[in-house]
Amino acid sequence: MKGGGTAHTHGKWRTISRMMKTSSLSILALQETHLTEEHRNELERRYDRMKIYSSPDPDNETGKGGVAIILNKHNTSWQDAQVEYTIPGRAITLTVKWGHSSTMRITAIYAPAGTATEKAVFWTTLRDIWRADRTKKPDILLGDLNMHQEKARPVWGVWHGHHGCTIAAHP
């Protein structure tokens, strides 16, 4: 979203709200949101269709990073959603009711674009979280993974979620 928490992005939020309505989108993941709690609350007041779960960068809320998941209040059981700040500013997980009796875990990612070491630390941290508690693994992984095919190493594991979704993650 590149600067979603700043004043010059009001048009972007208006577009997102309109798109969620006209396309009947239920869930949307955003990266580089730069959202403070105050701005998130303001957006939810302005666009009453959206419930925004946001994890800003802990060191610079309005200047860099941040990740969010938006639920369309008209299409989801947003009141029952449970949020986990998996890696603040980089990964947020939402458990939502899906269908009549199922739940679905969705993780939105904004992976570092920096050095190989920064990337390795991020993905290793996620791997360790998911290995330590298998119930923390998402059914769906969305976002900006900041990977390039020519640089990716073939060391990825694949998990099959119980909703028929496939998730790739560093083993």
- Cα–Cα distance, 65 to 46 (Å, whole number): 23
Is 38 labelled a binding residue?
A: no
Q: In this structure, are strands 67-72 and 27-31 parallel, antiparallel, or unpaired?
A: antiparallel
Residue 72 labeled ligand binder: no
Determine the 3-state secondary structure of 5 from DSSP: coil
Of 48, 6, 46, 52, give the one whose Cα is nearest residue 30.
Answer: 52
Distances in Å between the Cα of 38 and the Cα atoms of 16, 33, 34, 68 are 19, 13, 12, 15
Is 146 within any annotated ligand binding site? Answer: yes
Detail the residues annotated as belonging to a binding site for Mg(2+): 32, 144, 146
Detail the residues annotated as belonging to a binding site: 32, 144, 146
